Structure 1
Amino acid sequence: MKKLLWAALILFASSPAMAEVEGVVSSIKPIHSLVENVLGDSGKSALIVTGNQSPHGYHLRPSEVKKLSTARVVFYIDDDFETFLVKPLSNLDKNVVRVPLVKAAGIPLLEARTSGTWEAHIHAGEEDAKHDEHEENDEHHAHEDMHVWLAPENAIQMVGAIEKALSETYPAQAKTFHANAAHTIKKLNALDKKLRTTLKPVEGKPYIVFHDAFQYFEKAYGLTSVGSITLSPEQAPSAKRIKEVRAKVSGLKAVCVFSEAQFSKRLVDSVMEGSTAKSRVLDEHGANIQPGKDLYFILLSRIAERMESCLK
Structure 2
Amino acid sequence: MLHIKSRFICTFSAVALAAAFALPARADVVASIKPVGFIAAAIADGVTPVDVLLPDGASEHDYALRPSDIKRIKNADLVVWVGPEMEAFMTQSAASLPAQKNLEMAALPGVKSLLVRGDEDDDHDEDSHAAGGDDHQDKSHAHHHHGEFNMHLWMSPEIARQTAVAIHGKLLELMPQSRAKLDANLQHFEADLADTDQKIGAQLAPVKSKGYLVFHDAYTYFEKHYGLSPTGHFTVNPEIQPGAQRLHEIRTQLVEQKAVCVFAEPQFRPAVIDAVARGTSVRKGTLDPLGTAISLNKDSYVQFLSQLSSQYVSCLNGA
Question: What interval of TM-score do these two structures reach, taking the shorter chain for normalisation?
Answer: 0.7 to 0.9
Conservation of the 8 A alpha-carbon contact between 1:105 and 1:161? no
How far is 1:31 from its partner? Answer: 1.2
Partner of 2:87: 82
Could you tell which deviates more after superposition, 39-48 or 94-103? 94-103
How far is 1:231 from its partner? Answer: 2.0
Task: Choose which of 284, 291, 302 in structure 1 pairs with 2:289.
Answer: 284
Partner of 1:215: 220
Structure 2 unaligned spans of 5+? 1-15, 131-138
Matched residue type, 1:103: A
How far is 1:114 from its partner? Answer: 4.1
How far is 1:243 from its partner? Answer: 1.5
Residues 182 and 132 of structure 1, relative CA distance in 2, 3 Å threshold: closer
Partner of 2:195: 190
Matched residue type, 2:230: S
Could you tell which deviates more after superposition, 237-246 or 73-82? 237-246
Conservation of the 8 A alpha-carbon contact between 1:112 and 1:212? no
Residues 223 and 146 of structure 1, relative CA distance in 2, 3 Å threshold: same
Q: CA separation in 2, counterparts of 1:132 and 1:104? A: 31
Task: Choose which of 109, 112, 122 in structure 1 pairs with 2:118.
Answer: 112
Conservation of the 8 A alpha-carbon contact between 1:256 and 1:311? yes
Conservation of the 8 A alpha-carbon contact between 2:32 and 2:52? yes
Partner of 1:24: 29
Q: CA separation in 2, counterparts of 1:258 and 1:162? A: 32
Partner of 1:64: 69
The question of 1:230 aligning with 2:235 is answered yes
Conservation of the 8 A alpha-carbon contact between 2:213 and 2:231? yes
Task: Choose which of 92, 102, 107 in structure 1 pairs with 2:106.
Answer: 102
TM (norm. structure 1) is 0.84
Q: CA separation in 2, counterparts of 1:67 and 1:229? A: 35
Q: CA separation in 1, counterparts of 2:264 and 2:80? A: 28
Matched residue type, 1:37: A
How far is 1:262 from its partner? Answer: 0.6
Matched residue type, 1:81: M
Q: CA separation in 2, counterparts of 1:105 and 1:74? A: 18
The question of 1:40 aligning with 2:45 is answered yes
Conservation of the 8 A alpha-carbon contact between 2:27 and 2:48? yes
Runs of 4+ aligned residues of structure 1 deviating over 4 Å after TM superposition are 12-16, 131-135, 137-142
How far is 1:277 from its partner? Answer: 0.6
Q: CA separation in 1, counterparts of 2:293 and 2:81? A: 20
Q: Could you say what secondary structure the match of 2:295 adopts?
A: coil
Q: CA separation in 2, counterparts of 1:245 and 1:226? A: 9
Tell me the matched-pair count.
Answer: 288
Residues 132 and 47 of structure 1, relative CA distance in 2, 3 Å threshold: closer
Q: CA separation in 2, counterparts of 1:50 and 1:302? A: 20
Residues 267 and 136 of structure 1, relative CA distance in 2, 3 Å threshold: closer
Pairing of 1:131-170 with structure 2 (within 5 A): 135-136=127-128, 139=139, 140=142, 143-170=148-175
Could you list the per-position Cα deviations for residues 160-215 of structure 1 after superposition, in whole angstroms to 9, with x for gaps in the alignment?
11111111233232332122111111111111011112111101110000001111
How far is 1:137 from its partner? Answer: 7.8
Q: Could you say what secondary structure the match of 2:285 adopts?
A: strand
Matched residue type, 2:238: P
Residues 252 and 109 of structure 1, relative CA distance in 2, 3 Å threshold: farther
Partner of 2:6: none
Residues 36 and 75 of structure 1, relative CA distance in 2, 3 Å threshold: same
Structure 1 unaligned spans of 5+? 1-9, 117-130
Could you list the per-position Cα deviations for residues 73-124 of structure 1 after superposition, in whole angstroms to 9, with x for gaps in the alignment?
11111121111001122344x36611101222522101121416xxxxxxxx
